Amino acid sequence: MPRPKAFDPERALDQAMQAFWAQGYEATSIDDLVRTTGVNRASLYGAFGDKHALFLKALERYTGAGLFAALDLDDETISTRDMLSRLFDRLIARCLDGRGAGCLITNTICEFGARDEAVLAAARRALARMENALDLVVRRGQARGEVDADAKPREVARFLLNAMQGLQVIAKVNPDERALRQIATRTLATV
């Protein structure tokens, strides 16, 4: 009979996600993951597979708990402008939180590019999920008369997603709050 797990896999996955998020894939060693999670190497491998498999699971976890998960898309009382403004505020705060972590998906795209098909597929799924959430916000705004009815929601969503991703890349090399807020303000003025 197999021994029961002596650790909480969900907690360990969250901790591994934090390590990858803070350091990136290449800079995070298995020893770092053992230290961060408090789970021995054999148990990590047994529960999650190798480092690459754990990273993919961490990306999926992040996508479910990321910035867009914090949006209350069911709250009909929040205006489109306020919802998008809050989103950019959270994004800027994350970029400036002192850790410089930014967005795990953006970091992963910058680190991997297109060299790993599994990571690329996970990043595409995450971006598609973000784009779909933005599309929903734009459509809701149009239904309320808060967003130009002639605007194409998918195009606006892609524009917003592009601005968010670009802002995070810029924040990596120039974490100037004033500049980041100017980007957000200009972006929101177009919606």
> Is the confidence at residue 75, as pLDDT, over 70?
yes
Encoding tokens for residue 103?
């967005």
Structure tokens at 133: 């959430």
Q: What is the mean pLDDT of residues 71-76?
A: 73
| Confidence at residue 64, expressed as pLDDT on a 0 to 100 scale | 78
Residue identified by tokens 């705004």 is 141
- CATH 1.10.10.60 in the chain: give the residue spans: 9-62
Helix (H) or strand (E) holding 160: helix 153-173
User: pLDDT for 8-33, tens place per residue?
Assistant: 999 999 999 999 998 999 999 999 99
Question: Has residue 41 got a pLDDT over 90?
Answer: yes
pLDDT of residue 4: 53
- Which tens digits make up the pLDDT trace of 88-146? 998 999 889 866 667 889 889 989 988 999 999 999 999 998 999 999 999 999 999 99
Given this structure, which CATH class describes domain 9-62?
mainly alpha
Burial environment of residue 90 by CB neighbours within 10 A (0 to 12, 13 to 18, 19 or more):
middle
d(Cα 55, Cα 81) in Å, to the nearest integer?
A: 35
* Angstrom distances, CA of residue 97 to CA of 25, 30, 70, 85, 104: 20, 26, 17, 18, 14
Residues 78-88 have a mean pLDDT of 91
Task: Name the residue among 158, 129, 145 with its Cα closest to residue 71.
Answer: 129
Write down the pLDDT at residue 3.
56
Would you tell me how many other CB atoms lie within 10 Å of the CB of residue 133?
19
What per-residue confidence (pLDDT) applies to 167? 94
- Of 14, 167, 162, 17, nearest to 96 by C-alpha is 167
Query: What is the CATH superfamily name and number for domain 66-189?
Result: Tetracycline Repressor, domain 2 (1.10.357.10)
Distance in Å from the first CA to the final CA of the chain: 59
Residues of the chain with CATH 1.10.357.10: 66-189
